[in-house]
Each structure stands twice: as C-alpha cells, then as structure tokens.
Amino acid sequence: MRKSVMVLLRPQQWLKNLFVLAPAFFAGSFLEVEVMRESLLTFLCFSALASSVYVYNDWIDRIADSRHPEKSKRPLASGAISGRTAFITGIFVLLFSFFIGFAFLNHQVLTVAGIYLVLNLAYTLNLKKIAILDVSCIAVGFVLRLLAGSVATGIELSSWIITLTFLLALFLALAKRRDDVVREQRGEERTRSSIKGYNLGFLDQAMTIMGSVVIVAYLQYCHAADRTIPIISSKLYLTAAFVVIGLLRYMQLALVEERSGNPTRILIEDRFTQINLLIWGGFFAWMLYG
C-alpha cells in the first residue's frame, strides 16, 4: 500500500519543481541562507501541490490509462489502490501544500500557486484535449514555477529567462506528444484526444523550430546577463555549446530512438544527458560563483 501511495504521488516528477530554484541560482544568490530557505520552502509547497494534481489527474484518467502500455501500471488504473485511499492522499498533500504556503511563504507565492493549481485542474478536465493548447499549458506551468521562485526570494527575472523557460518546456512537451503519436501509429490505443491534432511531420518541424529558438533565447539571455549581473563572467555565452549538445541529444532520443515520452525518466536514466547537464551546471556555477 505504501509503495502504491508513493507511486501515486509521483515523487520523481518533483524534479520539475527545481525550476523554483532557478532565480536564485541564475542571480548568483544561491548560497545566501535566507534566499535558499525561501526557495526550498517554495519547492516543497509546489511539490505537494503537484502531487495533489497528479492524484486528481490519475483519477480522471484511470479508465483511459488502463489501456495504455505504461500508464496502465499506475495505482488507480491498475486497481492497486482504491479511489477512497487516493482521495484521502490527494486531500492530505493539498492541505500540506496550503500549510506550507500560508505558514511560511508570502501572498505573492500563494497567488502564483493558486494560478498553477487552477491551470492544472483546467488542463486535466479539458485543456489537454485541445492540440497546441495542451503543450502550451505545460510550458506555462514551468514559467509559473519560475515566477514562484522569483516572488518568494524577491529576485527579479529577466524577460529572456522567462522566454527561455517557456520555449524549452514547449520543446519538451512537443517531444512528449511525438511519442504519443508514434505509439498510436504502432497500433496502440489512443489515450489523448489532442493527438488527432498532431502528426509526425508537424511535430518534427515544431521541435526543430523550438530547438532553434531555444538556442537563440539562451544566447540572448547570456548577453543580457553580462550587463545586468555584475558578478557574472563575460564568457557565459560559451555554455551555449552544452545547450546545443543537450538539445541535439534530446532530438536524437525523440527522432531516432523514439523514446521521448517521459522527460523525467530521460533525466534520471540517460547518462549522456546527465553528464552534459552536470558539465553545463558546473561551468555556469563556476562563472557565477567562482
């Protein structure tokens, strides 16, 4: 039972909430105790909030998920956990998120968290059925995480880091939809209504466009950071090489190996991606904090 409850909460997906730490990291304030405290509390709040949404989503999609080769293993779809247990679990983590927010965080974080919750509920109920709008909602969710980290710490975000986050998240969401289309073409049953609005030709071109503009946005961010963050190195643009390599690797996983359906799993399991990300993070941190 405990294992099923943990699977229901999807703790591996909490990695997405690391975006709330991004403002502190990119501003060179990551080592400040108060900034770190607020960032971690916001991360905890959003992780619990996200888990409550996952529980609700799994309940709504339990029948469709039971026909999916991978999602059928989810606790509600497989029958490993009852609806009552799932309801209690979802309410508990939602209340825990509210407790963290009201007890330790400012009203601006609560506002962003509220928007995030409403967006995800709307996505679960209807928006995920509409092609293009579905992936856009996912991308906005990442921007909201970024904004939450910003208002929690009082660190102002540049327009380029917001743009970059949206575009990168959109790229990953498109890759995920590509995997859904590939599965359908293999004869597996369609589980998303939005898939009828996509085909491989469109998704391949969209991913190529998004990958290109992500690189441009990253270079623009590096150029802007040179002028707005005094401690940052003027050679920050050199880290763009790792961004290009990372995007190429992800496109290889999507277009060649056709396994881009779970970005979190790729981050956890793909050694190439892990090493590239660590090198990028190391160089970036060295230029910021070295």
DSSP 155-224: PPPPHHHHHHHHHHHHHHHHHHHHHHHHHHHTTPPP--GGGGG--HHHHHHHHHHHHHHHHHHHHHHHHH
Average pLDDT over residues 4-29: 92
Residue 69 has what pLDDT? 73
The tens digit of pLDDT for each residue in 153-164 reads 999 998 999 999
**pLDDT band at residue 139 under the 50/70/90 scheme:** very high
Q: What is the pLDDT of residues 76-114, one digit of tens each?
A: 888 888 889 999 999 999 999 999 999 999 999 999 999
Q: If you average pLDDT over residues 63-72, what whole number do you get?
A: 76
Tokens read off for 285 = 């941190």
Q: Decide if 259 contacts 253 (C-beta within 8 A).
A: yes
Is residue 251 over pLDDT 80?
yes
pLDDT of residue 149: 97
Residue 264 has pLDDT above 80, yes or no: yes
Closest by CA position to 52, among listed 139, 147, 124, 133: 124
Reported as a single tens digit per residue, the pLDDT across 179-221 is: 989 988 887 656 667 788 999 999 999 999 999 999 999 999 9
* pLDDT value, residue 185: 85
Q: What is the pLDDT of residue 235?
A: 80
Confidence band, pLDDT 50/70/90 cuts, at residue 230: low
Report field, pTM of the whole predicted structure over 0.95: no
| The predicted structure's pLDDT at residue 74 | 85
Task: Give φ, ψ of 148 to 5 degrees.
Answer: -60, -45
pLDDT at residue 150, rounded to an integer: 97
239 in helix, strand or coil?
helix
Report, as an integer, the average pLDDT of 115-137: 95
pLDDT band at 233 (very low <50, low <70, confident <90, very high): low
